């Protein structure tokens, strides 16, 4: 049993780290031009917004972000990244 748990931890930790890294990469590709590297450009502060709110903003119905063509996986990664920004 403990061996099984160890394997689970060993497998899942890098997966979490890589989701965070791809969220950051996705952010700089798709969002930073308008929202700034820190998510605080202009009057809109998105840094620290809940992942649920970011996901909603990226569902394809909020101009001007209707045309970003992100997959559900990319949205989830970037939403978690934005929620963790300070």
Please report whether residue 23 would count as binding ligand HEC according to CB under 6 A: no
CB 55 within 8 A of CB 79: yes
Please report whether residue 55 would count as binding ligand HEC according to CB under 6 A: no
Q: Which is nearer to ligand HEC, 2 or 67 (CB)?
A: 67
DSSP assignment of 52-85:
HHHHHHTSS-STTSTT----HHHHHHHHHHHHT-
Binding site for ligand HEC (CB under 6 A): 30-31, 33-35, 44, 46, 49, 53-54, 57-58, 64-65, 68, 78, 82
């Amino acid at each position: 049993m403990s061996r099984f748990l160890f394997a689970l931890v060993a497998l899942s930790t890098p997966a979490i780290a890589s989701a965070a890294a791809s969220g950051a990469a996705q952010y700089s590709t798709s969002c930073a031009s308008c929202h700034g590297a820190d998510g605080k450009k202009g009057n809109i502060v998105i840094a620290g917004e809940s992942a649920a709110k970011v996901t909603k903003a990226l569902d394809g119905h909020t101009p001007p972000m209707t045309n970003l063509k992100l997959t559900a996986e990319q949205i989830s990664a970037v939403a978690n990244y934005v929620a963790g920004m300070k």
